[in-house]
């Protein structure tokens, strides 16, 4: 006897030990967060272990697995039409084009406004974080194409890992 997908789902729910109802996440997805290689995973692991310290003693699995970088270099091939650029970073941001510094200002809401020249260029972003992995947040509805971003790693300049989230980086929220 053939069963539909809805029949199988209903039967699975009847015998499932999962006490929680299925629900679609209502988390805002207004920001694209860019991470270096394995940095999102290290950030989540660090958060989970640090919040578990209240219940556990002598647990340092995050440090055993790896250490999150506290400074990461991102690169963006800037199209001529993108000025200014809005970004979110954990702590500090320095931007250069060639060897020349680019003006950056942090607004009251925590967004960095980066005044890029109105010409095609390659901008380098040095981002630092006091704790956890370094990440850059790019508004999902604005900013340059995510494919134009690169992150420095031991292997060169790969495309960064991308996670959607809200104003807080995804590795910091549950």
Please give the mean pLDDT across all residues of the chain: 80
Q: What is the structure's pLDDT at 92?
A: 86
Does position 148 have pLDDT exceeding 80, yes or no? yes
Assigned domain for 102 exists: yes
pTM equals 0.68
Give the per-residue pLDDT at 65: 63
- pLDDT mean over 3-11: 75
Asked, for residue 10, whether it belongs to a domain, the answer is no
Question: Tokens in use for 51?
Answer: 């919040």
| Helix, strand, or coil (residue 12) | helix
Residue 131 lies in a domain: yes
What DSSP character marks residue 69? -
> Is 110 in contact with 167 (CB distance < 8 Å)?
yes
Average pLDDT over residues 142-152: 79
What span, in angstroms and rounded, lies between the C-alpha atoms of 145 and 103?
Answer: 21
Between residues 69 and 137, the one the model is more confident about: 137
The number of distinct structural domains making up the chain is 1
- Residue 116 lies inside a defined structural domain of this protein: yes
pLDDT attached to residue 75: 92
Q: 31-90: per-residue pLDDT in tens? A: 889 898 888 888 888 888 777 765 555 555 556 666 778 888 999 988 776 667 889 987
For the ranges 4-8, 24-28, 38-42, 121-125, the lowest mean pLDDT is seen at: 24-28
Residue 55 is assigned to a structural domain of this protein: no
Higher pLDDT, 13 or 171: 171
Containing domain of residue 33, as a range?
27-38+68-168
Report whether 127 contacts 169 (CB < 8 A).
no
Closest CA to 152 of 78, 76, 93: 76
CB 136 within 8 A of CB 35: no
59 in a structural domain: no
For residue 31, give the nearest of 168, 173, 171 by alpha carbon: 168
pLDDT band at 155 (very low <50, low <70, confident <90, very high): confident
pLDDT mean over 83-98: 85
How confident is the model over 90-102, as a mean pLDDT?
Answer: 87
Residue 18 included in any domain: no
* Domain assignment present for 173: no
What residues contact 83, with CB distance under 8 A and at least 6 apart?
Answer: 115, 116, 117, 118
């Amino acid at each position: 006897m053939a069963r539909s997908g809805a029949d199988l789902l209903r039967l699975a729910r009847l015998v499932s030990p999962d006490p929680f109802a299925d629900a679609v996440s209502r988390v805002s997805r207004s920001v694209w967060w860019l991470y270096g290689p394995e940095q999102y995973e290290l950030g989540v692991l660090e958060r989970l272990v640090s919040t578990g310290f209240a219940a556990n003693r002598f647990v340092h699995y995050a440090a055993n697995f790896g250490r999150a970088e506290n400074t990461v270099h991102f690169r963006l091939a800037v199209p001529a039409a993108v000025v200014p650029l809005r970004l979110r970073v954990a702590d500090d941001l320095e931007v250069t084009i060639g060897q020349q510094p680019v003006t950056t200002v942090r607004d009251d809401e925590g967004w960095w406004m980066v005044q890029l020249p109105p010409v095609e260029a390659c901008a380098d972003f040095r981002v630092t974080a006091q704790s956890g992995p370094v990440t850059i947040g790019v508004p999902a509805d604005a900013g340059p194409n995510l494919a134009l971003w690169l992150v420095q790693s031991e292997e060169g300049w790969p495309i960064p890992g991308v996670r959607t989230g809200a104003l807080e980086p995804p590795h910091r929220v549950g």
